[in-house]
Each structure stands twice: as structure tokens, then as C-alpha cells.
Amino acid sequence: MSKESTAETGHDIAVSSVEGQSALAPINARLTAEQRIDLYRTLVRIRRFEERSLRAYQAGKIGGFLHLYIGQEAIAVGCCSVMQKDDQVITAYRDHGHAIAVGMDLNPLMAELYGRVTGCSKGKGGSMHFFDPSRNFWGGHGIVGGQIPLGAGLAFGLKYLGRKGACLAFMGDGAVNQGAVHETFNLAALWNLPVVFVIENNRYSMGTSQERSSAGLSLAQRAAGYHMAWDTCNGHDLYAVREKTAQYLALARDEFKPSVLEIDTYRYRGHSVADPDKTYRKKAEIEEYQKTRDPIQLFQNLLRGAGVLDDALIAQIDAEARTEADRAAEFAEASPYPTVADITKDIYWEEDHPEKKVSQGRIVFD
Amino acid sequence: MPVITYREALNQALAEEMVRDPNVLLMGEEVGQFNGAYKVSEGLLARFGPQRVIDTPISEAGFVGIGVGASMLGVRPVIELMFWSFYSVAFDQVLNNAANIRYMSGGQINCPIVIRGPANGGTNVGATHSLTPENVCANHPGVKVVVPATAYDAKGLLKAAIRDNDPVMFMENTILYNDKGEVPEGDYIVPLGVADVKRAGTDLTIVAHGRSVIHALQVAAILEKEHKVSAEVVDLRSIRPLDEATILASVRKTHRVLLVDENKPFCGVGAQIAYLIQDQAFDDLDAPIKRVSAIDAPQIYSPPLEKEQMPNPQRILHAALGVLA
């Protein structure tokens, strides 16, 4: 499963499949037309949700950080679409795409951005902290790399409990330099944990390029030091993402072998909306990606070519996605905020379940 | 009733809870094959096997985070820190993740972990091995903090902590591991949030936790014998949740308070207790609240000086007489 590489830098070697070739892999070949349309629809829905939330942020409706997933949609959609029933997913703060890809409804997502009590975290988390355990989605985390031990823990838990599943633990290219990530790589390999560490390499860790932050060759190749399988993948190709992810999920699920999968991608917007995006890359580079490697456009091209999509359906899907995002913003705008009394709820399980409480004394102070 | 050591009491609690609930496991450095750096987990690997008693590499951030992640799925890990001082390399996992995941998810998730290990000075191991971070941990909404002083409390509180569905920071003391006490065989719990009046008295309230309770009891005996003073010793047992009622009831009875703990002064546990008492029982006080903390410096190595730096019966007695004057 290991890949050899002679390239100087990570992004030069990332293209490991000709765009479209992965359509032939069984995991993709057996998709029905309806399923392909659905994948395409999810890509578009993420894109329109992100654009709508950006406008809401610029209108002052959203506070704090907003880390947009625009340009990276094929990763969340591709990876989550090949998850099996007991597979789990966890990611960092660029989590809107993953939340939508696992099937979360847009209304509570937008309401969460607006800080309303109808938000998916009751307004207590915000953009970086979308969670849905019922969909095996464990967040949404703010500290770079901090979610990676948690992801290995989900894998550990699955194995301990005898559940046949694996965990997709996502991180960005910057996270691979965090100590906690190295500790986790070692533990996963040592303990044979069913985890796939997915590096969404969009080439820039906030304003610092991979060349300026990471010594060595490809990021995933660091896995070799821990005797772990690793691979690279073209994140602009939805079918390629599906093919590789399914392969490494099976390796984890069936053989308890962890792996590191580095997926090449690109974000059109800054690190967050507060990032002026002027100091570390050129506009021409962004435009080149948008024109020639947009994952949604590329998948659309494939489906058009296969006769699955036509102009009318493309337009309809787009219109519906825009409407859905607008409705979510309306829902958010009309929703109430949490109350001051709400601030001190959802801290402790015992306090939230008073009928089962065993401990006594004062637990929240003033 | 059997008389066993604090260490044996912890061992019993671990074993009994592991029998009771197959989701409970123990992980940490040297807990298995080595039988525990301080022998708290002696015999557990032989009894429960390597699936449930897990030796970890030296990766606190990694294995604490793994424990937290697994707990989200319903595993109930007891994570041993060889020294609570080592929590600092896992701070993000302990006090960012474990403390906050429930809140950030709007109450959808809980992390039923226990992190346990010795949190104490007095063994000449210097500044980076002698932390007592119960005050730091207690400053974080989302975690619970427990510091047993006796074998009886150690077993009962550890059982309660393991059954608790919230993250519990459980702080032991290497010097207390050999202390003996009466401990019932079989199942009982000491609920979190309940202080214990270890010695009833009428003239002075001494509030303490951990090893300072043992010193306070020694001082109370001296006060009785040599000064005809009847001191009441309140053992907090639980820092968060905090048994405010028992503290205040004692203060209303004796009207004089001495706080003793091993924390460094600034924002030690005593600071919170002092605020509580002056806020709720101001008119019941006949004297300012006094405190014995560690002398405010990184933990010194030199053995006789470390003894002086820490709260000890001599310093506590001196302070007690000051409150009574």
C-alpha cells in the first residue's frame, strides 16, 4: 500500500489518478444515475451553503470565525459517501462540508452560525463545532490537530466494543506538524487501530505554504516512519476520493490497519473570512484552480458526458440549492437566541439528567 | 472491618468496577506489566488481560485523547497519569476537549473518563514532578475534581468517579498510598460533592483536602491536648462539585477558619473557599480567614526545605493559634 515518491514537494506528487479514471472502479461503476446525481447535488448544496453563510457573515449575522470549505467539497462528499454503518468521522474547524455530507439539515447549521438556540449545538459551539453523533459525526474542533487523538480514540472504541467500523480522522496540511498528531500516528500503528487519517492538503496552513512549514517530502509519507500505510489522492476528482477512501476504510475496518491518506485540494477563499488572502498566494493561482480544477465542475462534466446530467437538471439543482440555503438563513434569522439561563446548561451530564444525579454539592459557581 | 492501605483501596475499586462494567478499562504508563509505577494497579493485568489493562507509550496527549475519543462511544476509560504533573503535556485533551465537548455540541455528547494519579509534593522530585493541579482543573467548567485523603474515601470516590458520566479528575498522593484505614469489603460509593467532618469541634474550623487533612488532624490533636482548643476538621474530599453547606455549617458553629492545602497561594483552592465563606457567612466570622498554602515558589528540591515549603503540622499549628488569638 505504500507509495514511493521522488518529488520535491507534496503538491507536485498529489495527482495519483487521471481525472475520470476512477469512474471505472467498482465502488463508482456500480452507482446508479440517481446516486450520481445525489452526489453532485450534495457538492452543490455545500457550495451554496458556504456562499450564503459568507454573505451572512459580511452582513454581520455571524460572529467569530468562518472557515469556508469552498473548493474542497469533493473530499467531504467523496469520503462520507463511502462510509459504512459503523464508520465514524471527525474533523477540524473547516467542518461545514462534512456536516452536510453526513446528512445534517441546513437549518440548524445556519442557525448555529447565527448563534441561535435552534442551532445544532444550541448556539453554544458556532461554526467550528458542528456535531451529530446520530450521524456518526463527532465534530467540529478548534485546536489544530487536537481532534486527531480523539479520532484514534473513536477507532479504539469501535475495536474495544467489537463494532465493525473505522474512523475517518480529518486534518489539514498544517496539523501534521502538531505533536499530538505524531503521538497519535504512533499509537494507531502500535495498537492496530481502525483509523484512516485524512490530510486535506490545500497547500496553505493559514498563510504559510507547505514548503515553508513542513520538512521532508509528502506529508503522508511521514506515516512510513510509523510503519503505517499511506497514499495520496486527487481531491478534485470525486470518484478518486471515493475509490481511495473506500480502499483504506476497508483496510482499517477489516484488517485493523491504520493509514494516512493525503488528498490534494484547494480553497478559493482565505483561511477564514478574516484572512485578507493577499500575503501568501497570487490571485492568478486561485483563478487557475477555479477554471481548470473545480471539483464540482469536473464532476458535472463527467456526469454530462455520461448522460446523467443535462442543462435543465444542472440549473434545477443549483436553484434548489440556493433556495435551500436562503431558507436556512431565513430560519436562522427568525430563531430566538439562547437565554442567559441556558449558558449554564449542557456542561455536565449529571446536571442535565437530574433524575439520575448521584453527586451533590455546588458544581456551577458565581 | 478490614484495614488496608490507600493503595489497596484504589486497587479494589478498580478491580470491582472492572468486574461490574465491561466497558471500564485502565490505561497508562507501566500500569500493566510493571504492575503500576506505584503498584496501584498490581495484579490487574493478570486478572483482566491486556485488552482492559493497557500499557501506553509516553504519549500523554495521545493516550488521554484516545481515552476521551473512546469515551464518546461509551467506553469508560480510567487513564492513569504517572504523576498529575504530566497533565501539562496533555492539557489540550484534558481541559479543552474533555471539559468542553459536551458544551460545544450543545449537550449531545458526554465523556465518562477518569484521569487519576498522584498529585503531590513532598518527595524531593522537584518542580516539574510535584504539581497539585486540582485548582487549575477545578477552574474548568465541564470537569469534576476529587482529592481523597483516606483509604475509605479513595475506594468510595474512585468507584463513584468511574460511574460518573462526566470527566472526573482524581488526585491521589504517593505519600498517602501506604496509609492504612478501615475499608469495607465489597461495594459502596462516596458521592462526589460531599465533604466529611473528620473531626468534630467547636472553636476552630480547619478546611483541608488531601494530605493536608492528615496534617490538620494531627494539629487538631495537639490543639486539644496542649491548648484546650476544640478544632473541627472538614475534609473537602471533592473540590468540584463543592460541598458548600458543610463548610458553612462548620463556620457558623466555630466562627474561626483556617484553610490548609498544598496548592501555591495564588488561586489555590483556598482562595475559592475564602470567597465563599466571606460571601455567605461574613457575620459569623470572629476573625479574618487565614490560609496555609505552599510557600510561593516552584517546588524546591532540597529535602528539608521542601518540607518547610509545604504545609506541615508546625506551620499549620502556628497559623491556627494565630486565628484563635
| DSSP per-residue codes, B198-231 | EE--SSEEEEE-THHHHHHHHHHHHHHHHH---E
| B104/A140 CB distance under 8 A | yes
Least Cα separation, residue A280 to chain B (angstroms): 29
Last residue of a domain, one of B182, B208, B233: B182
Domain A23-356 class? alpha beta
| A149/B105 CB distance under 8 A | no
- Domain membership flag for residue B27: yes
- State pTM to two decimals: 0.96
| A153/B72 CB distance under 8 A | yes
Domain match, B232 and B178 both: no
- Domain membership flag for residue B150: yes
| Cα separation of the two ends of chain A | 56
Last residue of a domain, one of B126, B152, B182: B182
Last residue of a domain, one of B133, B156, B182: B182
- Domain membership flag for residue B245: yes
- Which of B61, B107, B112 has the CB atom closest to A149's CB atom? B61
Least Cα separation, residue B170 to chain A (angstroms): 15
| B65/A359 CB distance under 8 A | no
Domain assignment of residue B247, given as a range: 196-324
Domain ranges of chain A: 23-356
Res. B33: pLDDT tops 80: yes
More confident residue, A12 or B187: B187
- Domain membership flag for residue B187: no
Domain match, B173 and B262 both: no
> Rounded to whole angstroms, what are the CA distances from B66 to A37, A146, B30, B63, B167?
38, 11, 17, 5, 14
**Nearest Cα residue to A236 out of A287, A301, A295:** A295
- Cβ pair A295, A42 in contact under 8 A: no
A190 and chain B in contact, CB less than 8 A: yes
Q: How many domains does the structure of chain B reveal?
A: 2
- Cβ neighbours of A201 (radius 10 Å): 29
Return the bridge partners of A169, or none: A90, A197
Domain match, B45 and B161 both: yes
More confident residue, B225 or A18: B225
Domain match, B220 and B177 both: no
CA B93, chain centre distance (Å): 20
CATH of the domain at B56: 3.40.50.970
Which chain A residues are Cβ-neighbours of B93 within 8 angstroms? 146, 149-150, 180
Q: What pLDDT, on the 0 to 100 scale, is given for residue A19?
A: 55
- Cβ neighbours of A85 (radius 10 Å): 8
CB pairs under 8 A between A and B: 194
**Residue B241: cis peptide before it, omega within 30 degrees of 0:** yes
- Select from B48, B72, B73 the residue whose CB has the most chain A CBs within 10 Å, as the one to mutate to test that interface: B73
d(CA A132, CA A139): 7
Strands B76-80 and B24-28 turn out to be parallel
Which chain B residues are Cβ-neighbours of A347 within 8 angstroms? 102-103, 141-142
- Tens of pLDDT, residue by residue over A8-42, are 333 333 334 455 589 999 999 999 999 999 999 99
**A73-A78-A79 Cα angle (round to 5):** 110
| B107/A346 CB distance under 8 A | yes
CATH of the domain at B221: 3.40.50.920
Q: Could you tell me which residues come within 8 angstroms of residue B54 by beta carbon, excluding any fewer than 6 positions away?
A: B25, B26, B27, B28, B31, B32
| Strand arrangement of the beta sheet that strand B76-80 belongs to | B53-55, B24-28, B76-80, B114-118, B168-172, B144-146, B238-240
- Cβ pair B220, B214 in contact under 8 A: no
**Nearest Cα residue to B237 out of B217, B271, B207:** B207
- Tens of pLDDT, residue by residue over B278-321, are 999 999 999 999 999 999 999 999 999 999 999 999 999 999 99
Q: What pLDDT, on the 0 to 100 scale, is given for residue B186?
A: 87
Domain match, B157 and B201 both: no
Q: What pLDDT, on the 0 to 100 scale, is given for residue B45?
A: 98
- Domain membership flag for residue B191: no
| A133/B109 CB distance under 8 A | yes
Domain match, B71 and B204 both: no
**Nearest Cα residue to A365 out of A338, A347, A350, A349:** A347
Q: What pLDDT, on the 0 to 100 scale, is given for residue A227?
A: 95
**Partner B, chain A 105-164, Cβ-Cβ below 8 Å:** 119-125, 129, 131-133, 138-141, 143, 146, 148-158, 160-161, 163
- Domain membership flag for residue B298: yes
Return the bridge partners of A362, or none: B242
| A140/B189 CB distance under 8 A | no
Domain match, B160 and B241 both: no
Domain match, B16 and B134 both: yes
- Closest-approach residue (CA) in chain A for B107: A346
Domain match, B260 and B126 both: no
- Select from A137, A156, A197 the residue whose CB has the most chain B CBs within 10 Å, as the one to mutate to test that interface: A156
- Domain membership flag for residue B190: no
